[in-house]
Structure 1
Amino acid sequence: MTAIRPDGAASWRPRPGPLNGLTDVPGLLVGNAHCDAARTGVTVILCESPAVAGADVRGGGPGTREIEALAPENLVGAADAVVLSGGSALGLGAADAVAAALSARGRGLEVAPGHPRVPIVPAAILYDLGPHSAAAFGADGPPHPALARAALEAADRGVALGSVGAGRGAVAGALKGGLGAASLEIAPGVMVAALVAANPVGSVCMPGGPWFWAWPFEIGDEFGGLAPPDLPCPPAPIPEDGKLRGGWAFDAPDGPVDPGSAPGANTAVGVVATNAALTAAECRRLAMMAQDGLARAIRPAHTPFDGDTLFALSSGAATGGPDLGSGHARAARLAALGSAAADCVARAVARGVHAAAADPGGPPAWREVAKNHLGRAKQGLASPRDAS
């Protein structure tokens, strides 16, 4: 493995990887598949070799699989793939399909000679069900197992954003949500990246305008290049009626929209990854630190209504990635990885919403609402309400 060396660090400027996505981390592939009729989909993160893994759950309504298998005190601590799926608990069958397909390929734990191999496929789901779901599910049940098999077959190094895969039916507060990704090379040869399906009850934008909460972490114009004006931007107030209103629909005539919150009816789920060689315990710490990225990009985050779950993968052992060293220096470098992972998560949330496309009768897409808002701003109108 290549050791991380301090020489030249002062002149190094962190930068996104070539793809600005999860597959900038060697050893990982991503595949997406979705059903337009059901407005749902599946994203599969395929580890070309088993990756050391960890997970962290912060939401009050999670839906997950194989989380405990990744706990550092337990036997496995590694994953063959990770599945992100729509469909709420009905979508957890997507991971079953991926595990079965990988077993047929000879992937997974060899418990005993001649026995089927057992792949470890952790998963997390988000809620994207609606009146459109029942008819599309049909007599054969939810489409997620079939979508998962298609996503697994489609896995490659490409980076798809917006209304694809697990982000197909996502809603971010009062805006259309989506699948986002971002990466950062924080030192020569040291890569960290994130992939997030953003479906939170909270808002991704500041009150009164199309400015992402994540704007301080934007690199270039990767999600619109809009910085807020030099005005105070207070957090969204808690209404007197006590109801949590998710997004600030900053250009909606009726103001903030109540998404009909219920536990488990929202969530942001995702994966952070690095090519640095980490232990299972360090992967868990990486996932814990990366959760701060959700709080940087979404207000509020980690609510009782969300299932916020992040997985962390380290491909370093399999790909000969950089070694963090030992002792205090190792801990400090892990902290730097975690900080960068949180920034990547925040950027991924904004990039997913920025790229999303609206569905008929659904919440508006950020691009169309921002265009409308900025057009009104040029006319001296802050929002449609100012025109009334």
Structure 2
Amino acid sequence: MLLGLTAALPMLAARATQARAAEGDPLHPGPGHVGPTNLITDVAGLTIGEAHDAKARTGVTVILPDQRAACAVDVRGGGPGTRETDALTAGNLVRSVDAIVLSGGSVYGLGSADGVAAWLGARGRGFSMTKQPGVPPSPIVPTAILFDLANGGDKNWGLNPPYRDLALRAMDHPSRTVDLGTAGAGYGAQAGALKGGLGSASFVTADGLTVGALVAVNSLGSVVVPGTRHFWAGAFEMGREFGGLGASAAHVDPEDWGRAKFNPAARANTTIACIATDADIDADDLKRVAMMAQDGLARAIRPVHSPFDGDVIFALSTGRRPLPAGPPPLHVARLGALAADVLARAVARGVYEATLPPGMGGPTWKSLPG
């Protein structure tokens, strides 16, 4: 009986596949494609603000939804630096945000949220239980920082770290255009032994859902396969968005970290990111998307989530598109899987596009022998 059932399983599976194709399989609606700009702003309802300080070799990136957006966060690194992430925890009052900030500067960079909150509050944007005359709203601006203090820039800022002012500059002209590589929060970043940077990517499903990622790559681990120029994320590349080399066929020693940082230090690294979607899902579902998206870092960086990294991923929804037909948890699984792939691509793009700031030495991906 068991042998007969086993023999029949392939035929039953084939019939199930045919039935799904005939009825419209919610998990396999057809091939999707890269968004129009291959940036996180392909998600409707988002703009980005960026600013950097070339002298200090640091910068700030702000993700600005057109209106308050449901949001969640997942923290995997051993040395994170964050602000207002507890507000996004299940069971708390406020689980939507007015903006997300990614910043260089380690703990000093948390001050960038002050500038964004001031900008939003001055425009009457923020959380209020009830509106009262003379009482400003409270903008919710979760923030994550990376360590770029030891990159040779001038950090002698005394009592006036530049991050609040950088954030205000970033908010001067929020745009749907995103400068990649040595820009914003990735300006002074270092990805293992290579110059790190700011990366972004997007994907649009056949049934119209968009997933985007924005990431500042400042990792302990390496983004390239040891002894090669191939990105670990090469198998997920769309077109030639980060060089077109594709996946590596190399076999790697488990203890060979290749171009990882030689002298790691606690809180001296970190990859920080934001996943965005226009799918109308709530903060609980976004938490699962953020958790699944962490696998994108594991696909793109080796090692990752170490005691020396402060890896943080935010996930937000602009809620512009209802979920297609089918069980909602299945669509959440789809979105999480896509988020991981899109984030892996964004990591590679950030390093691929990175250049050296004025006066800074060291290798970039494009300087590797080829």
If the length of structure 2 is used for normalisation, what is the TM-score? 0.89
Question: Contact conserved, 1:55 with 1:287, CA < 8 A, in 2?
Answer: yes
Give 1:80's match in structure 2, choosing from 89, 98, 111.
Answer: 98
Separation in structure 2 between the aligned mates of residue 201 and residue 192 of structure 1, nearest angstrom: 26
Report the counterpart of residue 314 of structure 2 in structure 1: 311
How much has 1:101 moved relative to structure 2?
1.1
What pairs with 1:124-139 in structure 2 (closer than 5 Å)? 124-130=144-150, 132-133=152-153, 135-139=154-158
The runs of 5 or more residues in structure 1 that have no matched partner are 238-246, 250-255, 375-388
Number of aligned pairs? 345
2:354 equivalent among 350, 353, 356? 356
Deviation at 1:140, TM superposition (A): 4.5
Q: State the match for 1:31 in structure 2.
A: 49
Cα pair distance change 1:212/1:235, threshold 3 Å = farther
- In the other structure, the counterpart of 1:177 is 196
Name the structure 2 match of 1:267: 270
Distance 1:333 1:142, change over 3 A: same
Q: 1: distance between equivalents of 2:95 and 2:325? A: 21
Distance 2:273 2:296 in 1: 11
| One-letter amino acid of the structure 2 residue matched with residue 357 of structure 1 | T
Task: Verify: 1:210 aligned to 2:208, yes or no.
Answer: no
> Residue 234 of structure 1: CA displacement?
3.5
Secondary structure of the structure 2 residue equivalent to 1:49: coil
TM norm structure 1: 0.85
Query: How far did residue 368 of structure 1 move?
Result: 1.2
Q: Which amino acid aligns with 1:215?
A: G
C-alpha distance in structure 2 between counterparts of 1:14 and 1:140, whole Å = 50
CA distance in 2, matches of 1:31, 1:236: 39
1:361 Cα deviation from its structure 2 partner: 4.2
1:52-102 deviation digits (Å, cap 9, x = unpaired): 000000000000011111112111110100000000011100011101110
2:258 alignment counterpart? 248
Moved more, 10-19 or 166-175: 10-19
The aligned residue for residue 165 of structure 2 is 146
From 317, 337, 340, give the equivalent of 1:339.
337
Q: Is the 8 A contact 1:207 1:235 kept in 2?
A: no
- 1:8 and 1:269 map into 2 onto residues whose CA distance is 31
Give the drift of 1:228.
5.0
Question: Do 2:225 and 2:248's aligned partners in 1 also have CA atoms closer than 8 Å?
Answer: no
**Distance (Å, rounded) in 2 between the aligned partners of 1:342 and 1:9:** 16
- Cα distance in 2, alignment partners of residues 65 and 57 from structure 1: 12
CA contact (8 A) 1:43 1:151 kept: yes
Of 267, 275, 279, the residue aligned with 1:276 is 279
Q: Which moved more, 1:355-364 or 1:176-185?
A: 355-364
Measured in 2, the distance between the counterparts of 1:23 and 1:67 equals 23
Unaligned runs of 5+ residues in structure 2 are 1-22
Asked if 1:16 is matched to 2:34, the reply is yes
Question: How far is 1:367 from its partner?
Answer: 0.6
SS at match of 1:295: helix
Q: Which amino acid aligns with 1:68?
A: D
CA contact (8 A) 1:277 1:324 kept: no
Equivalent residue in structure 1 for 2:121, among 84, 97, 103: 103
User: How far did residue 119 of structure 1 move?
Assistant: 0.7
Question: Secondary structure at 1:197's aligned position in 2?
Answer: strand
Flag the 1:205–1:235 CA change in 2: closer, same or farther, 3 A.
farther
What's 2:137 paired with?
117
CA RMSD between the two structures = 1.9
1:9·1:187 contact (CA, 8 Å) conserved in 2?
no
Q: Matches of residues 39-78 of structure 1 in structure 2 within 5 Å?
A: 39-78=57-96
Distance 1:77 1:37, change over 3 A: same
* Counterpart Cα distance in 2 of 1:54 and 1:324: 22
- Mapped to 1, the partners of 2:182 and 2:207 lie a distance apart of 33
| Counterpart secondary structure, 2:169 | helix
**Alpha-carbon separation, structure 1, partners of 2:212 and 2:301:** 19
What is the CA–CA distance in structure 1 between the aligned matches of 2:360 and 2:170, rounded to whole Å?
27
- Partner deviation per Cα, 1:154-183 (whole Å, 9 max, x = no partner): 211012110000000000000000000010
